[in-house]
Amino acid sequence: MLALAILTTISAGLALLVKSMTKAITKETTSMQAGEQVRQALEKAELALVHANQITVASSTFVEWIADIDQSPNYDPNAFGTNAAKPQTVRNYLNPDRDGDASTIGSAANSWQYGYNLKDDDEDGDGNIDVKERLYLSSSSLYLDMSVNGSTWGAHYLKQLYVNVSTFTLTYYGSYANIEVGLGKNIDSKGNYVIDWSDMSSQSSPLSYITQIHIRLGSSYMTGGGSEYTIESDVYPPMLTIKPYSQ
């Protein structure tokens, strides 16, 4: 009976140890899986956003931008021209004016349809912006969406990057670089060499000053939402500072 009592005590202790170890391993495994999934979602968001050449909508959980036609799934870098009505002799990936309309003079209202590639948002000549994209949070899910030539949002190109999002925040910053290239106005109101949203939003064209987007993405990986994996990143779309655009 004494041996049985000792064995019972040892067994109970072992059971508690196994339970504790199983819980710890499960938590660590779940944390690692959640972390990897969050990192992959953030990488996809970064890869899309880095091609932005103009921000059109910006909030803490929603950003919309224009990208070049080379981000369209229909773009062929080896083709000769993007506009069927204007054949080219240079392949798209080498051509600074893929639709051959850099010398076209249009009205101020439709100037976005003409010019060299970066300035020209309608390189296939159909009267629509070639590529627009959105990154946003909806019902605890992170989505990346694309509209090609004015196509409907939320249709063929919609991608769900991550579910069970507990944290998603977009923060916008400017820099002295885009002041130098043409905006020509020092808006660093606090004099701290940081141009944040409070500086930009006081201007008549605040979205024109955005050069950096800070992304914070997190996920609760345990039931009850008590534990969270969070990752942050900064995206610097190089075209935002040089596209000849003023809103």
Q: Are 63 and 144 found together in one domain? A: yes
pLDDT over 50 (residue 214): yes
Q: Quick check: 198 pLDDT over 80?
A: yes
Q: Give CA–CA dist 77/93, Å, rounded.
A: 5
Q: Which two tokens stand for residue 115?
A: 């010019």
Domain assignment of residue 28, yes or no: no
**Which of helix, strand or coil describes residue 246?**
coil
d(CA 232, CA 167): 11
Least reliable range by pLDDT among 46-55, 158-167, 176-185: 176-185
**Three-state DSSP state, 166:** strand
Please check whether residues 59 and 99 belong to one and the same domain.
no
Residue 19 confidence (pLDDT) above 80: no
Give the contacts of 29 (CB within 8 A, at least 6 positions apart). Answer: none
Residue 208 sits in the same domain as residue 97:
no
Residue 9 covered by a domain: no
End position of a domain, from candidates 97, 114, 129: 129
Number of separate domains in the chain:
2
Average pLDDT of the chain is: 85
123 with 134, same domain?
A: no
Query: Among 129, 145, 165, where does a domain finish?
Result: 129
Q: List, in sequence order, every residue forming a beta bridge with 86; answer none if it has no partner.
A: none
| Domain around 190 | 33-68+130-241
Say what the pTM is: 0.82
* Residue 12 pLDDT exceeds 90: no
Of 129, 146, 174, the residue that ends a domain is: 129
Tell me the C-alpha distance between 112 and 53, whole Å.
13
Q: Is residue 59 over pLDDT 70?
A: yes
The reply to whether 179 falls in a domain is: yes
1: number of Cβ within 10 Å = 5
Q: What angle do CA 155, 156, 160 make, to 5 degrees?
A: 80
Residue at 92 is within a domain: yes
